[in-house]
Amino acid sequence: QVQLVESGGALVQPGGSLRLACAASTNIFSFDAMGWYRQAPGKQRELVAAITSGGSTNYADSVKGRFTISRDNAKNTMYLQMNSLKPEDTAVYYCKADLSIFATVTNFWGRGTQVTVSS
């Protein structure tokens, strides 16, 4: 069973930075794609950023130019560098990994890490 563990969430002031990490219990090179999602109170979970095994990335419009997703296959870890944080970035951030086996895609989720942007 694949396990994903997020870390790095914290309380930060507007304009500040954080780096989230998602550590996997297996070789992340085997994942077709990985991504960061977030869910604010009373809102649906939304995609923040994603990265494929080939290194292609995509971002939500709301975070383009401020957030950067990356992965370190040697450390089996994915990162989300968040700069110029805004109060509206406050949410629980979740890590997700997609694994394809014989044309069946299985999604794995972490338990989340809280990011609070407030003065």
Structure tokens at 58: 């995509």
Phi, psi of 109 (to 5 degrees): -125, 145
- 12-24 pLDDT per residue, tens: 999 999 999 999 9
Give residue 102's pLDDT band: very low, low, confident or very high (50, 70, 90): confident
More confident residue, 26 or 50: 50
Contact 18, 89 (CB under 8 A): no
Q: Which of 22, 11, 76 is CA-nearest to residue 48?
A: 22
Q: Residue type at 47?
A: L
Contact 91, 82 (CB under 8 A): no
Q: Whole-angstrom Cα distance, residue 23 to residue 4?
A: 6
- Residue 59 pLDDT class (50, 70, 90 cuts): very high
Which token pair is 77?
């870890």
